[in-house]
Amino acid sequence: MTDPFSRRVLLRTGAAAVAAPWLPARAADAPWYTQTVGPVVEVETEHGRLRGGHGRGALAFKGIPYAGSVSGKNRFKAPPPVTPWTGVRDATRLGPPALQPAGTSYGEHEPAYSEDCLVLNVWTPAVKDGGKRPVMVFCHGGGFESGSGGHRVQDGGRLASTYDVVVVTMNHRLGLLGYLYLGELGGAQYADSGNQGMLDIVASLNWVKQNIATFGGDPGNVFVFGESGGGLKTCTLMAMPTAHGLFHKAGIQSGTMLRGYSKDMATENARRVLAGLDLGPQDVGKLADVPADKLLAIQLAGSKGPLGTPTKGWLASHPNPPSPLYDDFGPGDWGPVVDGTVLPRAPFAPDATPLSADMPLLIGNARDEATLFEMGNPDFFRMDDAALKARAHQVLGPLTDRVLAEYEKTRPKVTAVERGIAIETAIRMGNHTVIVADRKSQQPAPVYRYRNDYESNHPIAGTDWTLRAGHATDIAITFYNYDIPDLQGNGPGLAEASKAMSGYFASFARSGVPSAAGQPAWPRYDTARRAVMLLNSQCRVADDPDGEERAFWQSSAKAG
């Protein structure tokens, strides 16, 4: 049976900057949006000298190693330190994305996928000028299995130059290579396994602490944020002792993680991987010699269900499973493991991790998340009430009639497709956003909650629909990259919406309170008022938007 909810996915250089000749032309390359151009600028880091350039109004340094090799004997372990280099290392082009399924990532002129992918990118208005700019560190999306910090709409040049901030993105291990847990099978040498991809991100934050002052940033004012899978990673970092103190504010966009993998389930996944390679638990050490492409093939096979246990459609395959119906990873998935050490407890279950009690949080999701997930399923956008009920039943089971009745009551004048989008958005993203915001708001630090309402006019092939306020349509908007063609489309009010959203995020990075020129003040979120900023070309505050539906889901969770 077909799964009805399948997913588809000029500036100041500073007195100490060293201006060099323009970058040499590469005859084979036409200009591109995120190209780094001359004059070149050199800086000295803790590990060696770098040569960067200019891009989208800022200085750009790309493909910088923040840790050592994680292949071979270093697989499934915490990343080793960077090996210092001599001479001047070119940092004008992106480094390799993590090993992942073909056809993902979307950085411009990125090199091939690589197991050794621990590189980061920095954009800044100036270097070595004594600046104390807020640092905005972005975790890319793609769940825990795909994506890249080099995606072109995540280019930080315009954000850095417009708001006088430093922007950092990074690549890190993904999928099986990032989250295979061998702690129960491989002994002490694999004690950090299951969370090695997250430890990569921690290593990047340590690099920021050591080096970002050279790039005009303040290591004492770091904002970590991420969209989709990047939001899940941000949740995880908030509960990791090794990340504590390395960042000071958090942002979660359309992706929350309450629990994570249990050691038992993660160990069972490891047994299946070994069996798929004709290895036993006693052969864990042999994994260092398996070709990386073969490990990726095993990962991809597992995501389709043949490693021994059937999947549960998108409930199992999606890294942010729905609440309240299902709240854990499924067989064949990859993600952080609550191992009691690297990740001592779940980030937001049964409550918000106390480790980040004093950390302000900016959190939200898009109004129409589901449109992106159904982009490859034109039939979804043609369904009537009967088709909606049939689809919903596969996911909701005995709760189907109650859910449909509720949405017929709260949205009586909309089509079955629109109700389907609203229901799927709630169970994929919306409900978890409320849970995390509610639980975090019980702590001392402020929470600010939003909903992205800007409607993209990006067409959905095979239908007369557009993405509307769909999943990931807000990434380019947040980075003030609305002019780079992507999911945000090119509709009216786009520049204004991007100015508002990027302004709110940059001001939050600076002060812990979001504000934007010409837009309303943003109230702190609590469970009494439930104030939510509705982000658009003209933003507005709404108290408990869609509150009746929120209350319904919360009561259903208690009843279940």
Looking up residue 81, the CATH number of its domain turns out to be 3.40.50.1820
354 and 367 share one domain: no
Residue given tokens 């009691």 in the structure block: 340
- 365 assigned to some structural domain: yes
Domain membership flag for residue 542 = yes
Q: Could you tell me the CA-to-CA distances from 556 to 208, 322, 324, 403, 497 in Å, in that order?
A: 43, 13, 7, 9, 35
The answer to whether residue 8 sits within a structural domain is no
How many other CB atoms are found less than 10 A from the CB of residue 32? 10
Q: Are the C-beta atoms of 448 and 361 separated by less than 8 Å?
A: yes
Q: Residues 396, 312: one domain?
A: no
197 membership: H or E segment, kind and range: helix 196-211
- Any domain includes 216: yes
Q: How many domains does the chain have?
A: 2
What does the pLDDT read at residue 513?
Answer: 98
Tell whether 240 and 292 lie within a shared domain: yes
Task: Please report whether residue 6 resides in a domain.
Answer: no
- Tokens 């002019």, residue located: 483
- 399 vs 131: CA distance, rounded Å: 56
- Between the alpha carbon of residue 516 and those of residues 31, 280, 413, the distances in Å are 32, 57, 34
Are residue 408 and residue 511 in the same domain, yes or no?
yes
Q: In this structure, is residue 500 part of a structural domain?
A: yes
364 and 338 within one domain: no
Quote the domain boundaries for residue 364.
360-559
Q: Are residues 484 and 520 in contact, defined by beta-carbon separation less than 8 angstroms?
A: no
Strands of 66-193 (E only): list them: 88-90, 119-124, 133-139, 166-170
Q: What is the pTM of this model?
A: 0.93
Helix/strand/coil for 552 = helix
How much is the pLDDT for 558?
74
Q: Are residues 309 and 405 in the same domain?
A: no
pLDDT < 50 regions, the chain: 1-25, 27, 305-328, 560
- Same domain? For 504 and 386 the reply is yes
Shared domain for 320 and 376, answered yes or no, is no
Q: Are residues 324 and 408 in the same domain?
A: no
pLDDT of residue 182: 97
CB atoms near residue 463 (< 10 Å): 17
Compute CA distances 158 → 45, 136, 275, 410, 461, whole Å. Answer: 23, 13, 48, 41, 30
Distance CA 196, CA 194 (A): 6
- Helices and strands, number each (H, E), in the chain: 15, 16
DSSP letter (8 states) at residue 387? H
Residue ending a domain, among 325, 359, 393, is 359
End-of-domain residue from the set 308, 341, 359: 359
Q: Are residues 179 and 275 in the same domain?
A: yes
